[in-house]
Structure 1
Amino acid sequence: MTEQTERPLAEPRPLGEIRSWPRSFADRLTAPLPGVRALARLAREGRLRPSAASLHELALLPLEPGPLPAVDAGSLALTWAGHASWVLRIGGLTVLTDPVWSRRILGTPPRVTPVGVRWEDLPHVDAVVISHNHYDHLDLPTLRRLPRDTHLLLPAGLARWARRRRFAHVTELDWWEAVELPGPRGPVRFDFVPAHHWSKRTLTDTCRSLWGGWVITAPGGPRVYFAGDTGYGFWFERIGEAYADIDVALLPIGAYDPRWMLGPVHTDPEEAVRACTDLGARVMAPMHWSTFLLSAEPPLEPLRRVRAAWEAAGRPRKDLWDLPVGASRVLTGV
C-alpha cells in the first residue's frame, strides 16, 4: 500500500479541473479484496441476509419523516434520508451525500424503509458529494433528477463517468485535496479524505476510481465529516489530526456480518464509536443501516449495539444522534 500522510492543501484546487489519474488505485487498499475462496465460503455458509426469524424487526425500524428545519447560513442542519444519503444545510448551501432516492439498486433487495425526504421537498441543491462508485452510493437514476449544472464533487477517476452523462460542473479529487464553493457567508470547503474501502461498478473497473470520505467546513464553522463507506483503521486518527474540531461525524454502523468477510470494509457499531473518538468528533450520527439489507445481522441490531457502545465509551447520550429515517437535527452557535 502507498501510505499518504501529507496534510490537506493550503489552497483549494480549481473547480472543474481536467486531470489524469493512474489506471488503478489498488495500491490504496488497506486489505486484500475477497477472492474466489472467500466467495465460495460465503455461498456455503449462506449468510447473505438476516435470518427469517429476525425479519419481524422490519416493522420496528425507526421512521419519522418530517419537514426540513428552517436554518440560517450560520447553522448546520442534518436530515437523514436513509442509508448514506443526508441532506446537509451548511454555510448557506444545501449538500446531498451519496444520494439514493431509488427504491431498488442493482444487486440488492428493495429498500425496507422509504426515503425519509420527498424529492419535491428538497430545496435547491448546490452540491452533491460522492464517496465511491458502488451502486448503493452512486445512483444514476437519482442523479438524473438533478439539474445538469449541479456541482458534483467526486473521487478521482469518476469525472469522465459524470461528464458522459452531461453534468457540466464536475470536480474530482485525490485524498487530502480540497475545493471551495461560494456561500452567502464566504466559501464552504470540501476536503476529500481517505477511507478503508474499495471501488467497483462493472466487471472490469475494480479500483479504477478512488474511494473516501468528505470533511465539509463552513466559514468559521461548523465542520462535518461524512465517512461514506469504510472499515475501521488508522485513517480515522490521521483525519482527526488533520481536521481539528469536527462537530459531527456521520459514520456507518451496518452491513457488517459476517465479520471475516466485511470487517475490512464496513465498520461495525463498536468500531464506529471508536472511530468517532479517533476523529475527535463531538457528535456521532449513525448511518448505513435500516435502509437496504446488505448483510446478515438482524435489522435492529446495529442500533442496539451502537447505543450500548456509546454508553460503554462514557460519551454523553445527547451527542449520539441516532436519528430515525427522515429525522433532522440542527446545530447552532458553533
Structure 2
Amino acid sequence: MQASVTFVGNATTLLRLGHFTLLTDPAFGPAGSRVYLGYGAWTKRVRDPALDVLSGVKVDAVVLSHLHGDHFDSAARRWVEPALPILTTPQAARKLRRKRYLAPRGLPPWECHEWTRDRQRLRVTAVPGRHGPGVVSSLLPDVMGSVVDLEVDGRPATRLYITGDTLLDDMLAEIPRRFGEIDAMLIHLGGTRLAGLLLTMDGRQGTDLAHLIRPALTIPIHYDDYKVMKSPLSDFTTRAERQGLTGITPIERGGTIDLPLRPGVTGISHPHNPTG
C-alpha cells in the first residue's frame, strides 16, 4: 500500500493514496511571476516550483482550498483540464463554473466527496478555515481545510488533514473531536501579511494548532514562496522543538515523504504513479 506526499511548492502537493492521486492548490508560475490577491494587491513568487515531479502523472482530482492567485495561478489554469474534478468551497465552485471548468464541486464544511476503486475508498471532507482576523475574513475568499481518508476493505488506512490558508481559530477544535486520530497534517504557514494584517498562521499559531491536532507526522508547507510571507519555517520548527512537539518533518521541493499507515493495512500499490 502506498501513501505519500510530494511537495511541488507553496501549497501545491501531489498526494498518492493507494489507487488515487490528488493535486492540491496548483500554482505553477516560476520565480519572478506575479499573482493577484484581490483589492489591488499583488505579490511576487520568489521560489521555483518543482514541476518535473508532475511529468506523466495522471491526477484524479484537484483539492483547491480557495481562489487566490498563489493557490491557482494562470499557469495552473492552463494545465488543469476543464473536465478534471475540483473539490473546493461553494464560493470558488461558482466562480470556476463561470470560467471553463466543468466539474467543480463545492463542499460546505463537514460535507464529503468519495471515490471507490476495487477494495479502496478515498473520502475528502471539507473542514472549516478562516483566512483573516475578525471582519476581514468576510472580505477574503472563503477557505476550506480538508480531511482526506483512505480506506481499504472498509478499514482506515491513513487520515491526512490539510489545513488550507487558515488562522488558528476555536472552530478548528471541532476537527479532532469529529475525526479522532489524525495520522498526518499538511500545515499552511508563512505568516502571510497584507496591510499589516496576519492572514495565514505564523510559527506561534502553527505550533498551537499542532498541539491541538497532535498528528503523528506534521509537514510544513506554504511558508517562503511569495514575498507576502513574513514568518520563515524556522519560526515554526524552533518553537515546535522547544515545546517538545514530535513528528515535525520539513520537505524539500520535489521531495516525497511516506504518510503513516494504520497497523494491519494491506493492499495494492498505486497502478499509475510508482514512487520515485
Q: How many residues align?
A: 246
Are residues 285 and 147 of structure 1, via their aligned partners in 2, closer, same or farther at CA, if it must alter by over 3 Å? Answer: same
C-alpha distance after superposition, 1:105-144 (max 9, x if no partner): 2254432221123275151010101111122123243033
Paired position in structure 1 for 2:145: 213
1:166 corresponds to: 100
Q: Structure 1 residues 148 and 184 mapped into 2: Cα distance closer, same or farther (>3 Å)?
A: farther
Distance 1:183 1:294, change over 3 A: farther
Per-residue deviation, residues 212-238 of structure 1 (Å, max 9, x unmatched)? 111111112211111110111212221
Residue 17 of structure 2 is aligned to residue 90 of structure 1: yes
Letter in 2 for 1:328: T
Determine the structure 1 residue equivalent to 2:52: 118
Corresponding residue for residue 252 of structure 1: 188
Q: How many Å separate the matches in 2 of 1:123 and 1:206?
A: 36
Matched, 1:190 2:124: yes
Does the aligned pair in 2 maintain the 1:255–1:293 contact within 8 Å?
Answer: no
1:137-171 per-residue CA deviation (whole Å, 9 max, x = no partner) reads: 23243033122221111101222322233322221
> 1:233 aligns to what?
169
Matched residues in 1 for 2:104 and 2:123: separation? Answer: 16
- 125-134 vs 209-218, greater mean Cα deviation: 209-218
Q: CA deviation at 1:280?
A: 2.8
Counterpart contact for 1:115–1:325, Cα < 8 Å: yes
Answer with 1 or 2: which has the greater Rg.
1
Matched with 1:53 is none
Distance across 1 between alignment mates of 2:220 and 2:4: 15
* Greater relative contact order structure (CA < 8 Å, 6+ sep): 1
TM superposition score normalised by structure 1: 0.68
CA distance in 1, matches of 2:92, 2:100: 13
Q: Which moved more, 1:137-146 or 1:95-104?
A: 137-146
Distance in 2 separating the partners of 1:312 and 1:123: 39
Q: 2:244 — aligned with what?
A: 314
Amino acid aligned to 1:303 = L
Please state which structure has a larger fraction of its residues in strand: 2
For the 8 Å contact 1:108–1:292, the answer to whether it is kept is no
Q: Identity of counterpart residues, as a percentage?
A: 25
Calculate the aligned-residue CA RMSD, in Å.
Answer: 2.3
Q: State the SS of the aligned residue for 1:158.
A: helix
> TM-score by structure 2 length?
0.81
Distance apart, 1:289 and its partner CA: 1.3
Deviation of 1:180 (Å): 0.7
Residue in 2 aligned with 1:148? 82
List runs of 5+ in structure 1 lacking aligned partners.
Answer: 1-73, 199-204
Larger deviation, residues 112-121 vs 238-247: 112-121
| Distance change >3 Å, CA 259–CA 320, structure 1 → 2 | farther
CA distance in 1, matches of 2:218, 2:192: 18
Q: Which residue of 2 aligns with 1:324?
A: 252
Task: Tell me if structure 1 keeps the 8 A contact 2:21–2:59.
Answer: yes
Structure 1 residue 81 corresponds to structure 2 residue 8:
yes
Shift of 1:93: 1.0
Secondary structure at 2:27's aligned position in 1? coil
Letter in 2 for 1:230: T
SS at match of 2:79: coil
Kept in 2: contact 1:196–1:235 (CA 8 A)? no
